[in-house]
Every structure is written in structure tokens, then in C-alpha cells.
Structure 1
Amino acid sequence: MFIRLIALMLMVMSFQSYGAKKECAGLLDKFQNIQSQLKQGQSIKSSASLRKKEDIAREKWWDCENNKTTSSSTSKKKKTYKKKVVKLKKTDKSILEDAPQVFSSNKNIVIKGRFSGDKQLQWLEYYQRPKKCGRPKTTQVFAFCMEDKTEQQNKFEQEYQNNK
């Protein structure tokens, strides 16, 4: 009789933990969904919002896993969450205020090359960009490409002066 009572208690406890794990699985899915959204890359505001949601989802899932789902603990977390939101909004604003203005006026943008007119057309025919300079993958390759272009410009300049 005593053994049956112990077996029955163990079964009840295992069913409760199994039910709790099912409930926690939904919270875990929600948490992982938010994490995957964060990995996709967002704007500053939306990523800050997703980070807040991730923190809340992680806390809910972790509390569920550890059977800490009391109403008093969640209300305390909400209060601390509100404090975090205020801090994040201030930092977001300071980031945006500190960012340099790219275009401070509405003037036209003028891009000047080294050559102009007929000389520019001849330069475009003359210049042979190395294959690896199409998309340089390292700074060393980029530096090589810049030096090569400068050398070719100097050679072109000499040949252009001699042909005149």
C-alpha cells in the first residue's frame, strides 16, 4: 500500500512537470523567434524594441523552466523593465543626436575626377583595372589597387603630354 502511494505521488509529480515543460516550450519558441528576428538586422529603434522583448521573453521562459511563476515576482520585473525602457530611449536619442550630419545643406553634390572632358574619355579607355580590384577583400588588396591606379594615372598623364 505504501509503495503504491509513493508510485502515485511520483506519477502526479511527473505529469505536473511534463505539463509545465509543454507550457514552457511555447515560451521558448517565442524567445527563439525574437532572437531570429534580431539576427536579421534592424534599424536602431526596432532592434532596441526587439532586445526589450527578448529580455522579457527570456525571463518568462526561464521562470517557467524553474517553476518561478508567482504574481509578485512578475510585477517586480515589470517595474524594473519600465526603468530599463526609459534608459534605452535616452541612449537611443543620444546616439542619434551625436551622429554627424551627412548633408548639412541642400547644395548639389559635385564629384570631380582627376581628368575632365576628352582627357577623361581617353583615361577611361586607357585604365585597366586588375581583376582582384573589382571587390577587394582586404585592406592590403585595396591599398594595392589604389597605388596601381595612381601609377596608371601618372603613366597616362606622361603619355597624354607626349602625344599632344
Structure 2
Amino acid sequence: MKRIYLLVVIFITSFQSHAAKKECAELLKKYHNVQSQQRQGHSLKSSISLRKKEDKAREKWWDCENNKLKPKSKKKKNNKTKSPSKKKTIKLSQNPTKPSNDAPSVFSSNRNIVIKGKYTGDKQLQWLTFYKRPKKCARPKTTQVFAFCMEDKTAQQNKFEQQYKN
């Protein structure tokens, strides 16, 4: 009788340890998955997020290996509608000459930006005096207004070209 009881106890403990090792293997797989994501190219924001994920995954895996993992609790589903998530805002540095460490870089290089217009020299000056932008084109609110502004500018350019040739 004692032998049967002993065999049952050994069987139950070995089954639990086998199930625990299987769960730990899944946690280790998640940990390695996060590490492989970190090796890929990503932005500063995702780098910080992946670092947090890696720390959490490593901690869970290590706790599982040392039998310190808390049992999973079943969460009750709540049928209430979710509130809209708050948008995260990026704080920019108050001093524009000194870049902030937490603000992402807008450009990947420090090269100068060159914007070329359609006209140069004297023709450019004459175009600037000729072109009259409508008030609603200063900040178009809809795509229809934007399209109107582009067509108006093209029409004025065509008119300017004809007058400039003469």
C-alpha cells in the first residue's frame, strides 16, 4: 500500500514538473522572439518598448525556471465599452538649439534641405509679384479646396507664362 501511494506521489510530482517545464519552454520561446525582434532595424520608440518587453519576458521565464511563477488568474470579461485610448504626445525640448534625449530625430541626416522653385532669378521675382493666392488657399480645410488651389495656381502659371513670353 505504501508503495502504491509512493508511486502515485512520484507520478503526480513528475507530471507537474513536466507541465511546468513545458510552460517555461513557451516563456523562453517568447523571450527569444523578443530578442530576435530587437536584432531587426527599428526606431527609438520601438527600441524602448522592446527593451521593456525583453525585461518582462526574461523575468517571467526566470521565475518559471525557479518555480516562483505565480499561477495564472482567470480574468472576468467585462462587457462595458472601452474608453478611447489616450494619445501619447512627445515632449519636444524647450531649447531648440539643444536636442532633447526623449524627442525622436526628425531627419536621419544633418544635410541641408534644398527646395527649388519653378522659376529662378528675375523671372522668379516677377512670378511672386504676379501670383495672388486666394485667402482660402492659405490653409485649405478639405481636399476639394486644396484641389481648387492647385488648379488656380496652375491657371495663373499658364497666364504668367503667356505674358512673360510677350
TM-score by length of 2: 0.44
Higher relative contact order (CA 8 A, sep 6+): 1
TM-score by length of 1: 0.44
